[in-house]
Chains A and B, each alone.
Chain A
């Protein structure tokens, strides 16, 4: 079964840092681009960023709202994706999902169950 499981969410103060993880199983993780998407409470979906695969030099893309504060990385030997979040703001409060990117614009499938990050003093 193809599965993604996020972990690492929690409560953090503004200005703080947090690292989210996404454990993948059931597919060849190293072949795929992987993305992070977030959803603030009661709001819509917001794309956070992407890491490409080794064949594409693990290059990354970010939304303007997180660029310079968030870093996406991966460890193909551990089938894991990471989101390092620094300088957190209250507006970063959201459920964070990891998602596998399909080839040639095929959308995101599957998604993890999400992990809640709350930024509050």
Chain B
């Protein structure tokens, strides 16, 4: 199985900050990586797919990069509605797996 790790696990930031979350895969997954945002009590929401393609309707302050085993999600200027938990997911091979999540909290 492909294991995904995320760093940091927890991030405290202020509105307007630039935030970067890293996702590392235990083996190469090309660009088969997606990022999701989840708020408490809600279903996850797709932000980025194919490592760097912004899902329709997602603000342009979100961006993704990387390929192979290392990927990043960047929020260029953190907004109040962005405080949430972020998960990466590999879609390269079965079983599909998710990273453990990164919680972004208000400083």
Q: Which A positions have Cβ atoms within 8 angstroms of B?
A: 35, 37, 44-47, 50, 61-64, 97, 102, 104-114
Q: Is the interface of A mostly helix, strand, loop or mixed?
A: strand
The closest CB in chain A to the CB of B100 belongs to A44
Q: Which residues of B contact A35 (CB under 8 A)?
A: 96
Provided the pairs A44-B87, A45-B44, A102-B49 are in contact, do residues A107 and B55 lie with their beta carbons within 8 angstroms? yes
On whether the beta carbons of A44 and B95 are closer than 8 Å, the reply is no
A85 to B47, alpha carbons, bound, how many Å? 30
Contact partner, B95, options A64, A102, A111, A114, Cβ 8 Å:
A64
Are B49 and A113 in contact (CB-based, < 8 A)?
no
Given contacts A47-B95, A106-B53, A110-B46, 5 further A-B contacts (CB under 8 A): A37-B44, A50-B96, A61-B94, A62-B95, A113-B43
